[in-house]
Structure 1
Amino acid sequence: MRFVLAIVAFVLAAVMIVFGIAQRTVFLEPSTSSLSASTSGSSAYTVIDSSALSASPGNQTIRVSGSESTFLAYGRTADVTAWIGGDAHAVVSLDDKTQKLVVTEVEADVVAPENSSPAEGAALPEVNPVTNPAGSDLWLQEFEGASSLTKNLNLPEGISIIVASDGTAAAPSEVTMTWAADNSTPWAGPLLVGGAALLLIGLVMYILALLHLRRSRRPRRNVPRGPRLPYLPRVPLPKALKAGDITGSGRPNTRSMIAVVPMLLISGLVLSGCSADLWPAAPPAKTAGASETPMPSPTPESTDGASDATEVPPAAATVPQIERIVTKIATLAADADASMNAETIATRFTGTALEQRLKNYTMRGVDPAIAAPAAIGKPPLSVTLPQQSESWPRVVMTVIQQEDKTIPPTTLILRQETPRADYLVEYAISLEAGAQVPHVAPAAIGAPAIAPDNKLLLLPPNQVAAAYADVLLQGEASPSWPLFQTEGDEFLASFVKSRSDHIAQLAVTATLAFETAAGEGRTVALATNDSGAIVAVNVNETEIATVVNGEAVVNFNDAGSKALSGVTSSAKGIQKVLSDQLLFYVPAVGSTDKITLLGSTQGLISASELP
């Protein structure tokens, strides 16, 4: 019986080990799956749709080739579509029925601008003058290569890829996507280990059976005596049995071990190469940061599971996007400020921020001793608040803490007019000492833009500049004085002191007139968590000194005014204009809080002699 059990154990062990090895060899599934597509090669852009990227689960390895230079970037599907606009392009998507990639060629959509009637033969104005997608602020990440480019990404739904050459030449025509397939064999390990265990058990049973058989063939001793029998003739005693007599050979019993030992060796070698793919395991828990691919954070769902009446638009940009944009702006501004290059600075600045820098370049061109504008710091960003928007223009507010802690943080208001335009600095405002930025939504959610005439705030955003200008000019006599937190307002205190000093200096030779008014800068307002708003505005201060004594002269009292006007003194009078970039917190209507100045940046924009 022991021999039978041993044989059964050997047979089962052999079956289990063979089947376990077969799972890792002949029955092993491919480790990857791939899909390919070829475009006609006539379009400058190819879009790989989100459906194609999610054809199989897991990371995507994208390979594009077929052109002299290769560009690949990914972003939100809506942003990629907006950047392409009406230009001709190819779309690579997944056919739901065949589960194959299909290519759709989209022709250019040429639409004449509204209310335009070009003369016969005249060319229509160029709608999308930017053709090269490289460097666009819309992309979450971009890559460039030579004739081919291969990247391993982990892109979720809602993300698409744009492929191009240089925006003019045809885009790469060959697209191949590969996914890592799950070819793990969770039962291979248990089969191999179980087979080895059965093999060992069978070996032990076989040895025990041999020992039992050997003991049963030996002479018996101490046999109980029975009744005395008559004597019989003597018969020769049999020889003692040897191990060789049992196996039928005179050699030691090693033949059975010859078959067992190799099986043990093979099992050991197989098991030595076991990995996690050979064993059953629970699904791995998702951990934050598992993928290095920068992704937009999803909009949090309602905690009660109810769907909102209106879908909240996504944030205009992600934190990595904004950090990359700010880094580009800081580098460009540093170079342009050092070389006083007006053309370069105009590619990343606009509005009041651009005007102040251009005037500074003019002044420094005359007098190099004049200080350059405050530098734009680089990330990390202490506060990031993008607008909730799927359309354009888009606005982003961010606060940069300078490396030198003695320099106040800088608040940038960035604006993107169209999908192919870069984000431009509209306001660059230094925060006041001790200014507390109100609580705002996380960057992944963003904040809605507040309409300029919104009446749900203590003061509509488009009235803040004029109201504060009146406070500067009239002080406590201004009707708007009770609306503003004037205690601790360093900018207001500095304005009052400067005006008093100038009046004292020119009291004998000239009369001074001061004017304050809302500037031409655009009003920007983003909502805060308490239903208030952060509002950026522009206020202009005008100082006019008119000579009262015909023999007297009035002098410009600062190097900047002399540089801009080209004169140092005048017998008629002088006029100069200061532009103020101001950042306020405006509480909601009904709040007990007051409008608080958060930051300011001032720059001279005009100086001239009176006619």
Structure 2
Amino acid sequence: MLKRALGALLCVLGLVVAGLAVASATVWRASDTLSATATAGSDGTLLMTDPGVLDLAADEVTVLAEADGATVVVALGRTADVEAWVGQDPVTRVTGLADRTTLATAAPAAPGGPTEETAPAEPTEPAEPAEPAEPAPTDGAEAPAEEPAPTAADPRGSDLWVEEVAGEGTAELRWDAEDGRWSVLVASLDPAATPTVTLTWPQTVTTPWLVPGLVLGLVLLLVGAILLLLALRSARTRPAAASAGGSAPVVTAGVPGPAPVGPVPAGAGPADRPLTRRELRELQARGPVPGADAPASLGAPSGPAASGPGTRVPGTPTSGTPTAGTATSGKPTPGTPTAGMPTPGTPAPGGATRGAPTPGPATAGPRS
């Protein structure tokens, strides 16, 4: 039972470890690219990257500019050339990464820049107010002049750019890092459309837990499967061993020697218990079983059973059967007992040996 539970636990652990390893390379795997976005300020149509931003995360970068419903321009040049072209126009500068999806920006500076402080002028006497001049008569009122529509700076066609891309709504430029200080300028030609820039760098993503997790999971799964197979095999062989144990030979207890008793006589009792002393005595009285050797620990049969019917004691002639050294013509042969003459060593009824004196009543023997 313990082996089966341990095998099942190892199989479950192996599956969990292998699943986590696969998830670390698929579901939890980091993105192959790093993308961050920035948008120009509400009062400007220009975006510019500071030096070092283009190769901030990798040596290769993709610049994607977008402007809703307007023509957008992406121009690449050296930082000094880009700043010279922008001049005093308001521009949003991209300074780095705020997080993994957002570019850090600086607000556009006011045009004109700071001026040097000057000394205050001396006070003067106020001049007398002049009389208002009378308006000159005119034949008709003049219409007010229309204000010109605001326009956005257009960087297209400048010889300062190393590379330039323009498009309706979107424009994309790819650049590989080079020595020097480089910047990208993004411009929207519609003052009402605010441009957006997205920088994308490729990333090298590794999965260090995939192979070790798979190997460990497979090892745990294999060990668990082996334990389950062993537990199943043990469960199958246990009933077979129990059924085969009933026909095993019985060894009696209390009898000297390790020899088995042999087949149990009919009525002697169950085969899975040792013989009692009474059964051993009855077995000795019956004599050896045909086809089976009597155990050495029981000894040779003695007593009245030795001369019972059908029992032949070695050295004793049987009636009607001639033995070696016995005359068949009725004449006794020397050394051969005749009728009525007891043979020494022959057991008589009652266990007494003929020709040998025994205590008690006198034995039948030759008369002197």
TM-score after normalising by structure 2: 0.46
Q: Which has the larger radius of gyration?
A: 2
The answer to which structure has the higher strand fraction is: 1
